[in-house]
Amino acid sequence: MTPAAAPSASSQPDVLPEGILLRVDGLKTHFGTGNRTAKAVDGVTFSLPRGRTVAVVGESGSGKSVTSLSIMGLIAPPGRIAGGRILHRDREGRVRDLARLTNADFRHIRGPEIAMIFQEPMTSLNPLMTVGEQIGEMIALHERISRGDLRRRVVELLKKVEIPAAESRADDYPHQMSGGMRQRAMIAMALACTPQLLIADEPTTALDVTIQAQILELMRRLQADMGMSMLFITHNLGVVAEIAHEVVVMYAGRVVEQAPAETLFGRPSHPYTRALLASTPDPDRDIAADGSRRPLAAIPGFVPSITNLPPGCAFAPRCPLAAQACRESPPELTTVAPGHVARCIRMEAA
């Protein structure tokens, strides 16, 4: 049994509802060819409303980074966008499909329209240049500006991300900064061209909780003050609850659920989302009054290999609700409530 063939993506007009900055629609990003094809992203669909923070959550290898690199046009061979669209509305209100943009076009997108903080901060900061020089370079790439003004802008940005003694810190090399300071510098660099959309890939994962709390607070404030949209990638459900207005849950290269944060945590629909929440230790829930531990609701088995995905729902082999139909063809994303979608045919069975 195969699902009805979707109309070819290019035949659809590039339209975006008002208030939506970015819509990823049926995105497929594959690596390699033939029967060794790694379907890292295989049908990712979600919308990012203007001025909101959408968190993408999923376990290691679920395709979070590949999704964000696809949006940024940074997929290099043997990787390729094998299908779907990435509709983006720019400052002028023009809607374009980023999946079909040339590298030259992307120069006007990266920086002023969409900026990204990468998962490995040390690889994206140049160890041989001061932090101030690197931020300045980013600004100078997109506008003509005098040296004096450039310096002022750099210091202003460092102050904006609450780096103390910003004037002298601008002359620090990355290794002279603590992890938390470096992450602030990375945020300053991403904000250098006041982007409409900030993609942050695990920006706090390498940090201690106390520093993480500072950075989350900063990002939340900047997002609100600048009216920016944010795509925040993390595997930590606690961080999601701290930062997100809406949540996208990924599993094995697909989106299984998108919902407003309160709904996702309060009334999750997809069995995977529910299982993820249940398996995260919560002492208030998991320790009985007599102090004994209740076993955590672990998800049996493990994530399938993306070179050998099951024909149906990728979660079916681990799902307590799976029925025969789940193993035959992948379910479609269906609407649970306005603004809430899930990819499951057995939701009512719970």
Partner 1 sequence: MTIAVARDVDQAPATPLIEVRGLVKHFYAPGGRIVHAVEDVDLTIGRGRIVGLVGESGSGKTTVGRTLLRLIEPTGGRMSFDGTDVFALSAREMRQWRRRMQIIFQDPFSSLNPRLTIRAIIAEALDTRGYAKGRARLDRTVELLELVGLSADHASRYPHEFSGGQRQRIGIARALAVEPDFIVADEPVSALDVSIQAQVLNLMEDLRRRLGLTMLFISHDLSVIAYACDEIVVMYLGRVMERGSSRDVRIAPLHPYSQALIAAAPVPDPSRRRVHVPLGGDIPSPIAPPSGCVFRTRCPKALPACAETVPPLTDVGQGRFVACLRVGAGGVSL
Ligand X SMILES: Nc1ncnc2c1ncn2[C@@H]1O[C@H](COP(=O)(O)OP(=O)(O)OP(=O)(O)O)[C@@H](O)[C@H]1O
Q: Which residues bind ligand X (CB under 6 A)?
A: 31, 38, 40, 58, 60-66, 79, 119, 235, 306
Q: In the stretch 245-264, what mask flags binding to partner 1 with x, by CB under 8 A?
A: ----------------xx--
The smaller minimum CB distance to partner 1, of residues 56 and 237, is found at 237
Does 298 engage in binding with partner 1 (CB under 8 A)?
yes
Residue ranges in 30-69 that form contacts with partner 1 under rule CB under 8 A: 59-60
Question: 304: helix, coil or strand?
Answer: coil
Which is nearest to 303 in space by CA: 293, 316, 321? Answer: 316
66 binds, among ligand X, Mg ion, partner 1, none (CB under 5 to 8 A by kind): ligand X
The least CB distance from residue 301 to ligand X, in Å, is 17
Q: H-helix or E-strand containing 154?
A: helix 147-160
Q: What's the N-to-C CA distance of the chain in angstroms?
A: 25
Select the residue interacting with Mg ion from 29, 47, 65, 70 (CB under 5 A): 65
Q: Does the CA dihedral 280-281-283-288 come out positive or negative? A: positive
Q: Which residues contact residue 102 at a Cβ distance below 8 angstroms, ignoring those fewer than 6 apart?
A: none
What whole-number distance in Å separates Cα of residue 135 and Cα of residue 21? 26
Which is nearest to 318 in space by CA: 251, 225, 224? Answer: 251
306 binds, among Mg ion, partner 1, ligand X, none (CB under 5 to 8 A by kind): ligand X
What whole-number distance in Å separates Cα of residue 239 and Cα of residue 190? 20
Does 204 engage in binding with Mg ion (CB under 5 A)?
no
171 binds, among ligand X, partner 1, Mg ion, none (CB under 5 to 8 A by kind): none
156 binds, among partner 1, Mg ion, ligand X, none (CB under 5 to 8 A by kind): none
Whether residue 17 has a cis bond before it, omega within 30° of 0: no
Long-range CB contacts for residues 313-316, cutoff 8 Å, separation at least 24:
313/343, 313/344, 313/345, 314/251, 314/252, 314/253, 314/254, 315/251, 315/252, 315/256, 315/270, 315/271, 315/272
Q: In the stretch 198-237, what mask flags binding to partner 1 with x, by CB under 8 A?
A: ----------xxxxxxx-xx-----------------xxx
127 binds, among partner 1, Mg ion, ligand X, none (CB under 5 to 8 A by kind): none
The smaller minimum CB distance to Mg ion, of residues 119 and 223, is found at 119
The least CB distance from residue 131 to partner 1, in Å, is 16
The least CB distance from residue 278 to partner 1, in Å, is 8
Token match 């003050």: residue? 225
The least CB distance from residue 312 to partner 1, in Å, is 19
The smaller minimum CB distance to ligand X, of residues 43 and 136, is found at 43
What whole-number distance in Å separates Cα of residue 21 and Cα of residue 90? 8
Does 299 engage in binding with partner 1 (CB under 8 A)?
yes
Q: H-helix or E-strand containing 138?
A: helix 131-142
Select the residue interacting with partner 1 from 90, 106, 133, 280 (CB under 8 A): 280
Q: Which residues contact residue 14 at a Cβ distance below 8 angstroms, ignoring those fewer than 6 apart?
A: 85, 87, 95, 96, 97
Residues of this chain that interact with partner 1 (CB under 8 A) are: 59-60, 178, 180-181, 208-214, 216-217, 235-242, 244, 261-262, 265-266, 275-277, 279-283, 286-287, 291, 293, 295-300, 302-303
Judged by the rule CB under 5 A, the positions of this chain that interact with Mg ion are 65, 119
